[in-house]
């Protein structure tokens, strides 16, 4: 069996799920949370993991001070895309040459920050579904596969290391594979998120409800098509027809409140810049029109602003 000291960064749904599963499997796991009071609370209470078979309280080491963590072999970054650069600064004491960083953020907007950190890193994409039901409390909806890979050629040793991480995750009931074409997998998910997240946030509806309205279906298709055009121009190979796949995910996750709608409902900043925003930015660079995604970005930003104002009053 693989033996690694693991640090999970960010106490969101994904961070709590990965930390809990890895701890249950017997690994030494630290959860890093930049919020001191919340870190103390989670350290005291543990993580509460709720699945279809029941609820489990999982003791966890949690801290807001990265200096207390000590040697770590693996750092899994589960913060939102827009918090990644700050997290990397706060984690500096842990960023040794021996520690492998894995970034699980949506989209591609954070790859620059990862490269700037100057360490060997892998990126990943996960179809694990989780919802945060309170501080340190995660409801594990559907289990899905996690795909890990490097953005560029690496040594055989680094590749072996990533396979060991996949083994560690699999042993913790987190189904994981290593891919030599990770960008394709990231874009497969990005294109689906482009077609679902913003529309559910704007229309305050569950994923499945998007398919009940012909106008929303055509808007979804147009947004996804723009993303697919950008992907094609970048040489990305998607795994199938993007509009069809997006509609299928709407059916498979019909009852889900998308992560973006969850963010809006909780008054948090959304990942609109990392999702639809990244399509607009890449489109501009490549000379590809993205009017539907521009409209979706503007609409979600307007809602974010309204929510922020309401919270300040």
Q: Return the active site residues.
A: 189
Among 193, 276, 278, 293, binds ligand KPL (CB under 6 A): 193
Q: How far is the CB of 249 from ligand KPL (least distance, A)?
A: 5
Smaller CB distance to ligand KPL: residue 193 or 220? 193
Contact flag: residue 258 with ligand KPL (CB under 6 A): yes
Query: Which one of 22-30, 82-90, 112-120, 189-197 is the stretch in contact with ligand KPL (CB under 6 A)?
Result: 189-197
Among 63, 66, 197, 270, binds ligand KPL (CB under 6 A): 197
Contact flag: residue 249 with ligand KPL (CB under 6 A): yes
- Give the helix/strand (H/E) hosting 122: strand 121-126
Among 27, 105, 126, 253, binds ligand KPL (CB under 6 A): 253
List all residues 6 or more positions away from 248 whose beta carbon is below 8 Å from its beta carbon: none
Among 184, 207, 220, 290, binds ligand KPL (CB under 6 A): 207
Among 72, 126, 259, 293, binds ligand KPL (CB under 6 A): 259
DSSP conformation class of 69: S
Among 63, 72, 229, 256, binds ligand KPL (CB under 6 A): 256
Smaller CB distance to ligand KPL: residue 105 or 207? 207
Smaller CB distance to ligand KPL: residue 46 or 195? 195
Q: How far is the CB of 225 from ligand KPL (least distance, A)?
A: 17
Q: How far is the CB of 238 from ligand KPL (least distance, A)?
A: 15
Smaller CB distance to ligand KPL: residue 72 or 258? 258
Contact flag: residue 66 with ligand KPL (CB under 6 A): no
Among 196, 224, 231, 297, binds ligand KPL (CB under 6 A): 196
Per-position DSSP letters for the chain, written without gaps between them: ----EEEEE--SHHHHHHHHHHHHTT-EEEEE-S-HHHHHHHHHH-EEEEETTEEEEE--EEES-GGGS---SEEEE-S-GGGHHHHHHHTGGG--TTPEEEE--SSSTTHHHHHHTTS-EEEEEE---EEEEETTEEEE-----EEEE-SS---HHHHHHHHHHHHHHHHTT--EEE-S-HHHHHHHHHHHHHHHHHHHHHHT--GGGGGG-HHHHHHHHHHHHHHHHHHHHTT---SS-HHHHHHHHHHHTTT---HHHHHHHTT---STTTTHHHHHHHHHHHT---HHHHHHHHHHHHHHHHHHHHHH-
Smaller CB distance to ligand KPL: residue 176 or 262? 262
DSSP-based three-state secondary structure for 143: coil
- Give the helix/strand (H/E) hosting 137: strand 137-140
Contact flag: residue 201 with ligand KPL (CB under 6 A): no
Contact flag: residue 272 with ligand KPL (CB under 6 A): no
Query: Which one of 92-100, 165-173, 224-232, 249-257 is the stretch in contact with ligand KPL (CB under 6 A)?
Result: 249-257
Contact flag: residue 192 with ligand KPL (CB under 6 A): yes
Smaller CB distance to ligand KPL: residue 211 or 233? 211
- Residue 173, phi-psi category: left (phi > 0), alpha (psi -120 to 50), beta (remainder): left
DSSP-based three-state secondary structure for 152: coil
Chain residues that interact with ligand KPL, rule: CB under 6 A: 192-193, 196-197, 207, 249, 253, 256, 258-259
């Amino acid at each position: 069996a693989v033996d690694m000291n693991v640090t999970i960064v960010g106490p969101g749904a994904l961070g709590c799920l990965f930390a809990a599963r890895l701890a249950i499997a017997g690994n030494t796991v630290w959860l890093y949370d930049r919020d001191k009071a919340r870190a103390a609370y989670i350290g005291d209470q543990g993580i509460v993991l709720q699945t279809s078979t029941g609820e489990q309280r999982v003791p966890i080491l949690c801290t807001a001070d990265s200096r207390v963590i000590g040697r770590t072999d693996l750092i899994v970054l589960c913060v939102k895309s827009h918090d990644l650069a700050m997290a990397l600064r706060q984690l500096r004491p842990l960023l040794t040459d021996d520690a492998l960083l894995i970034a699980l953020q949506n989209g591609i907007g954070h790859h620059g920050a990862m490269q700037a950190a100057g360490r060997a890193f892998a990126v990943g994409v996960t179809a694990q579904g989780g919802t945060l039901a309170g501080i340190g409390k995660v409801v594990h909806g559907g289990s899905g596969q996690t795909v890990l890979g490097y953005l560029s050629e690496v040594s055989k040793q680094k590749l072996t290391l990533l396979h060991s991480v996949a083994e560690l995750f699999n042993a913790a009931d987190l189904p994981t594979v290593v891919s030599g074409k990770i960008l394709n997998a990231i874009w497969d998910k990005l294109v689906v998120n482009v077609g679902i997240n913003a529309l559910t946030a704007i229309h305050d509806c569950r994923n499945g409800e998007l398919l009940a309205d012909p106008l929303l279906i055509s808007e979804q298709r147009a947004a996804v098509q723009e993303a697919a055009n950008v992907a094609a121009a970048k040489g990305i190979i998607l795994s199938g027809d993007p509009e069809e796949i997006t509609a299928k995910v709407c059916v498979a996750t019909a009852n889900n409140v998308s992560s973006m709608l969850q963010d809006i409902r909780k008054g948090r900043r959304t990942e609109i810049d990392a999702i639809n925003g990244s399509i607009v930015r890449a489109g501009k660079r490549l000379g590809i029109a993205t009017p539907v995604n521009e409209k979706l970005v503007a609409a979600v930003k307007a809602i974010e602003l309204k929510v922020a104002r309401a919270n300040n009053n």
